[in-house]
C-alpha cells in the first residue's frame, strides 16, 4: 500500500508532471515572471469556469479577503459578521483593517454560518457578512443574500475551501460558490482543491467598479503606472504559479469528483454508526470535500488521533481553537462570547485524509482502523 498522506501532492504531481514542467519551463524561457501570459491565461480560464464577470488574481487567500474589504471602503469600527468556527485568516484581516469582528454561530450540520444567528447579530454598525464555505460545503447563500439585501449589507464569500462548488437557488439558478456575494475570495495554497506550488489567491466580483478598485488596490493603488490614487498593497499571483494552475484548472472537476468518491466510500463505511456523524450534504449545493470531517460522540478523539498515527494514518483537528477563543481576539472581547455550538463542534470534529489520489486499499485501511478504535476503545 502507498503511504497515506493527509493531502498527496506528490502522487498528484506525478500524473501532471509533463504539463506542469513544460508550463514552468515556458515561464523561465520567456522570463515573464510577473503578469506574464500564464497569468492572463489563468485569469481568463478561471473567469470562464466560474461564470464570474471579473477575476483578479492576487498573492494569497488572506490578501484576497483583505483587498475585498479595502475595496468596500469599510471604516474602522464597522462591524463585520463572521463565523468563529473557521480558519483564522477570515477573521484576522477584519481586525488588521481595524474593523470589528462579530462572531456568530454555525449550523451544527453544515459547519457553516447560521443565517438566523447573522440576523440576530446585526446592529446599525454592521456593514458586511463574511460567510465561509467550510470544508467544501457552501453556506446557505440564498438565505444570507436575502438578509444582506434586506439590511443593505455587503457579502464577502470566503471560498478558499469550496472553489468549484455549485450552489442551487430555489428558482433553479445555479451559481458557483464565490460568485454570489458582493465579492468572493479564494486561495490557491498547495493543499486547497485548486492549489498551486506556492502561494496564490484570487478575488471575484460581478461589479465593474469594485473590480477596477480591487485591481488598483492589489497594485499599489495605481491604475496608471506611478500615479497612485489610493493606499493599496502589493499582491500578485506570479507567472510560475499561474503556469501550474493552468494545468490544474481543467482538471478541477475531475479532482472534485475524486474527492467526492472518497467521501462516498467514507460515508458508506461509517453509515448508521451511533458514535459517528458523517458530513451533511446540504440540498442547496454540492459538497466539494476540501476536508472530510467526522463528528464523534463519546469517543476519545485524541486517542483515535494517536492510534491512527501509529498505523501511519494522518488525521487532523480543524480547528483546535475557534477564533473567538484565540488570544489575538481578546481585545475584541473574544472570550465573552457564548458560542455553544462552535465549542461543541471544536471538541468533537476530526478530519481524515482527503485528496485526489486515495485508492480503495487506502480507504479500506483508514476506515477499518477508525472503526476498530471506536468499537474497541470507547
CB nearer to ligand PLP: pick between 103 and 189: 189
Tell me the closest approach of the beta carbon of residue 229 to ligand PLP, in angstroms.
Answer: 26
Tell me the closest approach of the beta carbon of residue 131 to ligand PLP, in angstroms.
Answer: 10
Calculate the CA dihedral of residues 339, 283, 317, 194 and round it to 10 degrees: -120
CB nearer to ligand PLP: pick between 87 and 154: 87
Please tell me which residue in 100, 192, 215, 248 is annotated as part of the active site: 192
The grid coordinates of residue 228 equal 497612485
Distance CA 215, CA 228 (A): 12
**Which of 43, 66, 86, 205 touches ligand PLP by CB under 6 A?**
86
Tell me the closest approach of the beta carbon of residue 193 to ligand PLP, in angstroms.
Answer: 10
Judged by CB under 6 A, the stretch of 57-65, 109-117, 167-175, 242-250 that binds ligand PLP is: 57-65
238 near ligand PLP, rule: CB under 6 A? no
* Catalytic site includes residue 175: no
Buried b (16+ CB within 10 A) or exposed e, 171-199: eeeebbbbbbbbbbbbbbbeebbbbbbeb
**Which of 78, 158, 286, 357 touches ligand PLP by CB under 6 A?**
158
153 near ligand PLP, rule: CB under 6 A? no
Judged by CB under 6 A, the stretch of 15-23, 83-91, 108-116, 244-252 that binds ligand PLP is: 83-91
Distance CA 180, CA 237 (A): 23
**Which of 85, 135, 154, 189 touches ligand PLP by CB under 6 A?**
189
**Residues making up the chain, counted from first to last:** 378
89 near ligand PLP, rule: CB under 6 A? yes
Position with the least CB separation from ligand PLP: 61
With CA atoms as reference, report the closest residue to 86 among 72, 105, 68, 71.
Answer: 105
Judged by CB under 6 A, the stretch of 10-18, 58-66, 95-103, 206-214 that binds ligand PLP is: 58-66
**Which of 90, 182, 205, 285 touches ligand PLP by CB under 6 A?**
90
| Tally of CB atoms within 10 A around 151 | 14
Confirm if 102 and 81 have CB atoms less than 8 A apart.
yes
**Which of 43, 62, 246, 362 touches ligand PLP by CB under 6 A?**
62
Phi, psi torsion values for 226, nearest 5 degrees: 70, 10
Q: Which residues are catalytic?
A: 192
Which residues in this chain contact ligand PLP in the complex, by CB under 6 A? 60-62, 86-87, 89-90, 132, 158, 160-161, 187, 189, 199, 201
Amino acid at each position: 500500500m502507498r503511504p497515506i498522506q493527509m493531502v498527496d501532492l506528490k502522487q498528484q504531481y506525478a500524473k501532471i508532471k509533463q504539463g506542469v514542467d513544460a508550463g514552468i519551463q515556458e515561464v523561465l524561457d520567456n522570463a515573464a515572471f510577473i503578469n506574464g501570459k500564464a497569468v492572463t491565461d489563468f485569469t481568463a480560464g478561471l473567469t470562464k469556469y466560474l461564470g464570474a464577470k471579473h477575476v483578479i488574481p492576487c498573492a494569497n487567500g488572506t490578501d484576497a479577503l483583505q483587498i475585498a474589504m479595502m475595496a468596500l471602503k469599510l471604516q474602522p469600527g464597522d462591524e463585520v459578521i463572521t463565523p468563529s468556527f473557521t480558519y483564522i485568516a477570515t477573521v484576522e484581516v477584519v481586525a488588521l483593517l481595524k474593523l470589528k469582528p462579530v462572531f456568530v454561530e454555525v449550523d451544527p450540520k453544515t459547519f457553516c454560518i447560521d443565517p438566523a444567528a447573522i440576523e440576530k447579530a446585526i446592529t446599525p454598525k454592521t456593514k458586511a457578512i463574511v460567510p465561509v464555505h467550510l470544508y467544501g460545503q457552501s453556506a446557505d447563500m440564498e438565505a444570507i443574500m436575502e438578509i444582506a439585501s434586506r439590511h443593505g449589507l455587503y457579502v464577502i464569500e470566503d471560498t478558499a475551501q469550496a472553489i468549484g462548488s455549485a450552489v442551487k437557488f430555489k428558482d433553479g439558478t445555479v451559481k458557483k460558490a464565490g460568485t454570489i456575494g458582493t465579492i468572493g475570495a479564494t486561495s490557491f495554497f498547495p493543499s486547497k482543491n485548486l492549489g498551486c506550488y506556492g502561494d496564490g489567491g484570487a478575488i471575484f466580483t460581478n461589479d465593474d467598479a469594485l473590480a477596477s478598485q480591487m485591481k488598483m488596490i492589489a497594485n499599489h493603488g495605481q491604475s496608471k503606472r506611478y500615479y497612485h490614487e489610493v493606499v493599496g498593497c502589493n499582491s500578485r499571483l506570479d507567472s510560475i504559479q499561474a503556469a501550474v494552475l493552468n494545468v490544474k484548472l481543467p482538471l478541477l472537476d475531475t479532482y472534485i469528483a475524486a474527492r467526492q468518491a472518497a467521501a462516498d466510500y467514507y460515508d458508506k463505511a461509517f453509515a448508521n454508526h451511533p458514535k459517528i456523524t458523517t458530513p451533511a450534504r446540504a440540498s442547496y449545493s454540492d459538497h466539494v470535500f476540501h476536508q472530510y470531517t467526522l463528528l464523534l460522540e463519546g469517543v476519545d478523539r485524541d486517542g483515535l488521533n494517536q492510534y491512527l498515527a501509529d498505523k501511519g494514518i494522518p488525521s487532523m483537528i480543524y480547528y483546535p481553537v475557534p477564533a473567538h477563543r484565540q488570544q489575538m481576539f481578546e481585545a475584541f472581547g473574544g472570550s465573552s462570547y457564548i458560542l455553544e455550538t462552535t465549542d461543541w463542534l471544536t471538541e468533537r470534529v476530526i478530519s481524515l485524509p482527503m485528496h485526489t489520489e486515495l485508492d480503495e486499499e487506502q480507504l479500506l485501511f483508514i476506515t477499518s482502523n477508525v472503526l476498530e478504535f471506536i468499537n474497541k476503545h470507547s
